[in-house]
Structure 1
Amino acid sequence: MEELKVFRDPLYGYVKVSHELIWKLIQTKEFQRLRRIRQLGGVFVVYHTAEHSRFSHSLGVYEVARRILYEVSDVNNTLTEKEKLITLCAALLHDVGHGPYSHTFEMIFNTNHEEWTKKILLNEHTEVHQVLESYEEGFAKKVVRIINKECYLDDCLGANCHHRIMSSIISSQLDADRLDYLQRDAYNTGTSYGEIDLDRLIRSFLIVDNQIAFKFTSMHAIESYLLSRYHMYWQVYYHPVAISFEIILMLMFRRVKALIEAGYKFNVDISLIKKIINNQLTTEDYLQMDEPWINYLIQHFCREQDKILADLSNRFMNRHLFKYITCANQQELDTKYQTLENIFSKYNINSDYYLYRDTISKEAYQYYTDDYL
Structure 2
Amino acid sequence: MTYKLEMLPREKVFRDPIHNYIHVQHRVILDLINTKEFQRLRRIKQLGTASFTFQGAEQSRFTHCMGVYEITRQICDNFKRNYPTKNPGDGLWNDDERIVALCAALLHDVGHGPYSHTFEHIFNTDHEQWTQRIITSKETEINQVLRQVSDDFPEKVASVIAHTYDNPQVVQMISSQIDADRMDYLLRDAYFTGTKYGMFDLTRILRVMRPYKNGIAFDYDGMHAVEDYVLSRFQMYQQVYFHPVSRGMEVVLTKLLQRAKDLYEHNHMNDFEMPSLLIPFFENNVGIDDYLSLDDGILNTYFTLWQNYPDEILKDLSYRFLSRKPLKSAEYDQETEKILPKLADIVESAGFAKEYYTSTNTSYDLPYDVYSPNSNKNRTQIEIMRDDGSLIELSTISGLVNALTGKISGDERFYFPKSMLVEHPDDIFSNTYEQFQEHIFNDEII
Gaps of 5+ in 1: 153-162
CA distance in 2, matches of 1:147, 1:136: 18
Q: TM-score, normalised by structure 2?
A: 0.78
The answer for the alignment partner of 2:133 in structure 1 is 119
The structural deviation recorded for 1:16 is 0.3
The answer for the alignment partner of 1:349 in structure 2 is 352
The answer for the alignment partner of 1:100 in structure 2 is 114
CA distance in 1, matches of 2:287, 2:260: 21
Aligned 8 A contact 2:174 2:180 in 1: yes
Query: Deviation per CA, 1:255-288, whole angstroms, max 9, x where unpaired?
Result: 1121112110252232332211322111011111
The answer for the alignment partner of 1:281 in structure 2 is 286
> How many correspondences in the alignment?
360
The answer for the alignment partner of 1:58 in structure 2 is 65
The answer for the alignment partner of 2:268 in structure 1 is 264
Q: TM-score, normalised by structure 1?
A: 0.93
Classify 1:244/1:208 alpha carbon distance in 2 versus 1 (closer, same or farther; 3 Å).
same
Query: Deviation per CA, 1:322-355, whole angstroms, max 9, x where unpaired?
Result: 111123x2221332x1331231243342110111
Of 10, 22, 30 in structure 2, the residue corresponding to residue 15 of structure 1 is 22
Q: Does 1:200 align with 2:204?
A: yes
Greater relative CO (CA pairs within 8 A, separation 6+): 1
Query: Deviation per CA, 1:26-64, whole angstroms, max 9, x where unpaired?
Result: 111110000000000001001101000000000000000
Q: Report the AA paired with residue 343 of structure 1.
A: I
The answer for the alignment partner of 1:148 in structure 2 is 162
The answer for the alignment partner of 1:364 in structure 2 is 367
The answer for the alignment partner of 1:158 in structure 2 is none
Q: Does 1:235 align with 2:242?
A: no
Whose strand proportion is higher, 1 or 2? 2
Classify 1:180/1:19 alpha carbon distance in 2 versus 1 (closer, same or farther; 3 Å).
same
Q: Report the AA paired with residue 60 of structure 1.
A: G
The answer for the alignment partner of 1:218 in structure 2 is 222
Gaps of 5+ in 2: 1-7, 86-91, 380-446
Aligned 8 A contact 1:268 1:297 in 2: no
Q: Report the AA paired with residue 304 of structure 1.
A: Y
Local SS of the residue matching 1:4: strand
Local SS of the residue matching 1:358: strand
Q: Does 1:49 align with 2:63?
A: no
Whose helix proportion is higher, 1 or 2? 1
The structural deviation recorded for 1:368 is 4.0
Query: Deviation per CA, 1:128-183, whole angstroms, max 9, x where unpaired?
Result: 1000001211111110011111135xxxxxxxxxx111010000000000010000
Of 81, 98, 103 in structure 2, the residue corresponding to residue 84 of structure 1 is 98
The answer for the alignment partner of 1:2 in structure 2 is 9
Q: CA RMSD in A?
A: 1.6
Query: Deviation per CA, 1:82-104, whole angstroms, max 9, x where unpaired?
Result: 31101000000000000000111
The answer for the alignment partner of 1:322 in structure 2 is 327
Please tell me whether Structure 1 or Structure 2 has the larger radius of gyration of its CA atoms. 2
Aligned 8 A contact 1:183 1:194 in 2: yes
The answer for the alignment partner of 2:77 in structure 1 is 70
How many percent of aligned residue pairs carry the same amino acid?
A: 42
Local SS of the residue matching 1:130: helix
